[in-house]
Structure 1
Amino acid sequence: MTTFIENFNFFMFLLFAFMYLYQMIYMIIAFKAKRALKRGKDNIKLNKIGVIIAARNEEVVIGQLINSIHAQGYPKEFIDIFVVADNCTDQTALVAKEAGAIVKERFNTDQVGKGYALDFMLKFIDKEYSYKNYDGYLVLDADNLLDKNYIAEMNKTFNEGYRVITSYRNSKNYDQNWISAGYGLWFLHEAEYFNLPRMTLNNSCAISGTGFLVKSDIFKENGGWVHHLLTEDIEFSVSQILKGEKIGYCRNAVLYDEQPITFKQSWHQRLRWAKGFYQVFSNYGKRLIGGILFKRGNRFSCYDMAMTLMPAMLITCFSIAVNSSFYLAAILGFINEKEIILVTTMSIIKSFVWYYSILFVIGFITTISEWNRIHSTGWKKIMYSFTFPLFMFTYIPIAIVALFKKVEWKPIPHTVAKTIDDVLENVKN
């Protein structure tokens, strides 16, 4: 029995490593790509961009975002800003209007979530302005801030023929605590060590919540924003990949957003993400597997999205369930108590050390490579490399609870009222 326990935990580690080995290869490809990539050449065509911001009680931060859009190094006549004030009980609509946005208020407590708000605004735009008046739509969250060259850089990648483009997601409050840093470090890793190698290999990238540009034709083809699961971003990514779309990545377009700083906020947000991933896999899993087996669309991108959605959570939950059953059997006296508890405990500790080491290496490499783009003091950058694995481990109970709990969309309050200049001035090496 003790041999079985040891072999089981070792096998689970090998299975996990085998399924995600490609992400380690991604990191190698990213290193080479970073050396080879240069800033894109200027493209002559200036596309008309409609910026869509879904906001719920965001009076504290939305003004700074709109100001950062106005400050873009891109002709102002080619940018229109649309804000949907979604079920707001504060002055979001007024602040957005005074900042120069076209504002439409929405009140619907039955259809709650960002996806419904986006669809509401897209239908308003189509009715009042028509989809065809804009070449593309840039989707942002109210807490975002844009680097002054953000839209110009997105425009360059847009002119390369991509119909969906994601960007480099940085954090405006990385240095607040280990939770905000955990988020920030993961999004940096996702940008440069997932999307950059995907782009390099001519595979599809994936959008992540905010900061993505979509060609107007796609919304016209889809009939608006039709994705309303708890993680509408990954649902949109998967649905487009299954249609054969290749999502691009613009690493020179830098966006800053605000991360949760309390564990309660983080728990609720990531619980929604975990549940949303389960929902997306439930709705699209068969087609993703079909894409892998029968070459429907981009075969490897289908595999990549399938791995993103489910296995890590399920493998972890299954491993915990099996090891817990050993403990329970030992406590109830069905098997040799002391020996089983000792062996199981040692196996769990070994697994913890292995996973912590892997996550630390991932976080540390990302920290070093993105050092100059992380807005924090040097000692915090290093310290948060050590806490990053612990942040990732907190996904385990979240993933387990998400399997059984009914989860609804809840807004995360944003309170970091910084301008883009405030963020850039905070760079300390």
Structure 2
Amino acid sequence: MWYFLAAFRKHPRLQNIIKNRIAILVPAKNESKTIQSLFDSLNKQTYDRSMFDVHVIVEDPIDPTIAIAKKMVNATVHVVLDQTRKGEALDGALKTILKETPNKYNAFIIIDADNLAHPDFILEMNNALASGRQIIVGKKYIKNWESIDRKSRSLVSNCTSLVYTMVDDLGNSHRNLHDIPVSMCGTGMMIRDDVIKDLRGWPYRTLTEDFEVMVDCLLKGYTSLYYKHAIVYTEEAVEHRVSFRRRMRWLTGFTQCNRKYRKAIVRKTFFEGKIVWKNFDFLYSLLPVYIFAGVSLVLGIVGLLAAGAYALFFQPLAWSIFKIALIAMGLVYGVLCLFTLLTLVVDRKVIKMGFWEVIAVIFLNPFILSEFVWIFIRIFTSSSNLDWDNVDRIDYVPKKEK
């Protein structure tokens, strides 16, 4: 409830009298077909153009992205060979920057090649530095809704786009108020130079390096802030197949981080001096959700199996057990429908869906959310490893070109 109420609080807009020099880092492995829209948005920034530089990171020395980046935004291009993780790409570029120009930048912004930056994005990120926080996470809008091509959106993309509202407005807004490390997203994120120097680059190697940054906030004490006035537009997969694979990659990275760092966080929380209460958000905030969903689903599944068995051998009881199973599963579905509705209400000024799209999302999104259960099962039962690779991109056509 407190998380939900915090979402309606007004976020103060900061002002910074200092113009900081900022590096924009764009991991762009094989992204030549989609990156031009990002460069267009960077060329329209209201922040002083002499105060930020664009650094593009590729893997192949003959990647067409290189010529595009130099022509459109006069970018510095870093060729980082044999990239298997986004963290390797960022680490290679940052190590070069720290070696050649260690004191040139006050902060580094990471933005994905398929994103767009709001015209005031860098300006607001600079303003956010006035907070004194070391890591800033911006607000995510959905790029699909900015395209005039209806093929750029689908019911699946409309559903998965709500995840950003759930993480930021229904989670990070509350964390801001209580000085709890915010949940990170690997795009639209700014890191101050003192953190980068302390890390000596970007040492994160799981599939979700952004989650590792949040862990370091817990373990090393880096401060963070969710600043909703700094806006990027991120792209959501239109096809269910692509969306499922992307979500599986996210949860695989989450599982990797959990296995790698959870013991250290528990030790830091309970056994190194006073109990660190703000770490409970990371350790236990989702526990009630897991218990509720797990118990309800188990009761529903067991009930359905029992009803089937009784239908074969004790038919008079079958219908009663079947109804109990349906009630248990219906309870989960109803709660997820309500949660979806609340999410839509929180971000109602931003979400660009028609009336019938909203109705469809309310009733379909519980199934999309429930897929996370199946994804977890796949992760723990599959021996295959997911790679960091490119996914299918939408055909983005700006509305202004209509």
Aligned match of 1:118 = 90
Q: Percent identity?
A: 26
Pairing 1:195–2:168 present: no
Of 19, 23, 27, 1:54 maps to: 27
> Where do residues 62-77 of structure 1 align in structure 2 (5 Å cutoff)?
62-77=35-50
Of 364, 368, 386, 1:408 maps to: 386
Residues 221-250 of structure 1 deviation map (CA, whole Å, 9 limit, x = unaligned): 112111101211111111222222231011
Of 347, 351, 373, 1:374 maps to: 351
Change (3 A) 1:87 1:262: farther
Query: 1:357 and 1:327 mapped to 2: Cα distance?
Result: 18
Of 121, 128, 131, 1:150 maps to: 121
> Where do residues 131-170 of structure 1 align in structure 2 (5 Å cutoff)?
132-170=103-141
Query: 2:56 and 2:96 mapped to 1: Cα distance?
Result: 11
Query: 2:314 and 2:300 mapped to 1: Cα distance?
Result: 14
Of 268, 275, 279, 1:302 maps to: 279
Aligned-pair RMSD on alpha carbons?
Answer: 3.0
Deviation at 1:215, TM superposition (A): 0.6
The answer to whether the 8 Å contact 2:218/2:265 transfers is no
Deviation at 1:379, TM superposition (A): 3.3
Deviation at 1:360, TM superposition (A): 2.0
Query: 2:3 and 2:374 mapped to 1: Cα distance?
Result: 28
Query: 2:61 and 2:301 mapped to 1: Cα distance?
Result: 45
The answer to whether the 8 Å contact 1:242/1:297 transfers is no
Deviation at 1:258, TM superposition (A): 0.7
Aligned match of 2:76 = 102
How many residues were matched structurally?
A: 392
Change (3 A) 1:346 1:233: farther
> Where do residues 146-295 of structure 1 align in structure 2 (5 Å cutoff)?
146-174=117-145, 176-294=153-271
Deviation at 1:46, TM superposition (A): 1.0
Deviation at 1:382, TM superposition (A): 3.7
Query: 1:296 and 1:169 mapped to 2: Cα distance?
Result: 37
> Where do residues 19-34 of structure 1 align in structure 2 (5 Å cutoff)?
24-31=1-8, 33-34=9-10
Aligned match of 1:8 = none
1:67 match: secondary structure = helix
Alignment-mate amino acid for residue 214 of structure 1:
I
The answer to whether the 8 Å contact 1:326/1:340 transfers is no
Deviation at 1:345, TM superposition (A): 4.5
Deviation at 1:313, TM superposition (A): 6.2
Aligned match of 2:148 = none
Query: 1:76 and 1:251 mapped to 2: Cα distance?
Result: 22
Structure 2 unaligned regions, length at least 5: 146-151
Deviation at 1:154, TM superposition (A): 1.4
Deviation at 1:397, TM superposition (A): 1.0
Change (3 A) 1:295 1:158: farther
The answer to whether the 8 Å contact 1:272/1:408 transfers is yes
Deviation at 1:303, TM superposition (A): 1.9
Alignment-mate amino acid for residue 293 of structure 1:
F
The answer to whether the 8 Å contact 1:203/1:298 transfers is no
The answer to whether the 8 Å contact 2:297/2:329 transfers is no
Change (3 A) 1:296 1:82: farther
The answer to whether the 8 Å contact 1:199/1:205 transfers is yes
Deviation at 1:361, TM superposition (A): 2.2
TM-score by length of 1: 0.82
2:203 match: secondary structure = coil
Question: Which deviates the most, 164-173 or 412-421?
Answer: 412-421
Change (3 A) 1:345 1:373: same
Query: 2:33 and 2:314 mapped to 1: Cα distance?
Result: 57
The answer to whether the 8 Å contact 2:167/2:183 transfers is no
Deviation at 1:39, TM superposition (A): 2.7
Deviation at 1:344, TM superposition (A): 6.1
Structure 1 unaligned regions, length at least 5: 1-23
Change (3 A) 1:284 1:104: same
The answer to whether the 8 Å contact 1:166/1:249 transfers is yes
Of 342, 352, 359, 1:365 maps to: 342
The answer to whether the 8 Å contact 1:327/1:340 transfers is no
